[in-house]
Amino acid sequence: CSMDIEKENKVTEDVGKKELLEESSRGDGSIHVLTLAFPSISTADFQFNHEKASDIIIDSVSDFLSKVDNGRLVLVDLSHKSHILSLVRAKAAKKNIDQKRFLTHVGDITQLCSKGGLQCDVIANAANWRLKPGGGGVNAAIYKAAGEALETATKERADTLNPGSSVAIPLPSTSPLYQKEKVTHVIHVLGPNMNPQRPNCLENDYLEGCKVLRNAYSSLFENFASIIQ
Ligand code: AR6
């Protein structure tokens, strides 16, 4: 699926040696930066405030970029009208975040390579505490696209997840998500829940909620860093 975005990354004479070391070379001379695609955790079904969530995304991304010198992060949402994407874009521009290492992308996280031309090696899932398929949103989409292989591999690693934590699952090569989209790992993340209809609702306690969301992103990015290092 090496389409436009990958072409941007062609090796040229001006690419510094350091940069070359950070990226894996491809047979056709283009380079690929190991990439994590992630949805905005907790901001749809879990009803977390978008202003607060976008601040936390920006802080967490900046922190990752300053600590880890390889890898690329992509925040994904389904619609061009996404409120969270526009908030994050504006704040990233204001903070001069490196546009080569942090992008926003509109598309389905389960079809980034085949439909979006964007190869993402690792994708994050906004999971539920039981790590179960279904329930709507990005969780249902990822489990559906990955097939039973993801359910089995998840069960081998963990039974449940605490809010603010994540677990990385190597995706078996039999999974359609591996074969069609070149996804090698799914990282399940559990964010804070502000929806009274869902388990462990924080009842508008944003002091706790923000702490949990920060922990969720740092756990996610630490897991991604361990995969690529
Ligand atoms: N591709 C990209 N982004 C998506 C997709 C997709 N296929 N589907 C949704 N989004 P949500 P939460 C965006 O509700 O708020 C589940 O039932 C969506 O627009 O999936 O953390 C779980 O089982 C939003 O920006 O996650 C949990 O119980 C973001 O993904 C609960 O929902 C997160 O929306 C988790 O709720």
Residue ranges of the alpha helices (H) in the chain?
Answer: 4-8, 17-22, 50-67, 83-94, 137-146, 148-157, 176-181, 206-228
Tally of CB atoms within 10 A around 226 = 9
At residue 30, the pLDDT reads 74
At residue 219, the pLDDT reads 98
Query: From residue 205, how far is each of 97, 193, 201, 202, 211 by CA, in Å?
Result: 30, 10, 9, 5, 10
At residue 31, the pLDDT reads 84
In sequence order, which residues have a C-beta less than 8 Å from that of residue 36 and are 6 or more positions away?
71, 72, 73, 74, 120, 121, 122, 123, 124, 187, 220, 221, 224
190 lines ligand 1 (CB under 6 A): no
At residue 26, the pLDDT reads 66
166 lines ligand 1 (CB under 6 A): no
47 lines ligand 1 (CB under 6 A): no
135 lines ligand 1 (CB under 6 A): yes
108 lines ligand 1 (CB under 6 A): yes
At residue 85, the pLDDT reads 98
Distance 140 CA to ligand 1 centre (A): 8
At residue 25, the pLDDT reads 62
Nearest CA to ligand 1 atom 25: 40
Give the 3-state secondary structure of residue 122: strand
* Cβ 121 vs Cβ 35: under 8 Å: yes
Gap between the Cα atoms of 60 and 93, Å rounded: 15
In sequence order, which residues have a C-beta less than 8 Å from that of residue 165 and are 6 or more positions away?
189, 190, 215, 216, 219
Which helix (H) or strand (E) is 72 found in, with range? Answer: strand 72-77
- Residue segments in the chain with a per-residue pLDDT below the cut of 50: 4, 6-22
37: closest CA among 115, 111, 90?
A: 111
Nearest CA to ligand 1 atom 28: 128
DSSP state at residue 36? E
Gap between the Cα atoms of 18 and 158, Å rounded: 37
At residue 10, the pLDDT reads 43
Distance 125 CA to ligand 1 centre (A): 8
Structural domains in the chain, CATH included, are 33-228 (3.40.220)
46 lines ligand 1 (CB under 6 A): yes
At residue 19, the pLDDT reads 43
In sequence order, which residues have a C-beta less than 8 Å from that of residue 215 and are 6 or more positions away?
164, 165
Q: Kindly provide the ipTM of the predicted complex, given to two decimals.
A: 0.99
Query: To test the ligand 1 pocket, which listed residue (45, 49, 80, 106) has its Cβ within 8 A of the most ligand atoms?
Result: 45
At residue 216, the pLDDT reads 99
At residue 173, the pLDDT reads 97
Query: To test the ligand 1 pocket, which listed residue (41, 79, 87, 138) has its Cβ within 8 A of the most ligand atoms?
Result: 138
Distance 12 CA to ligand 1 centre (A): 38
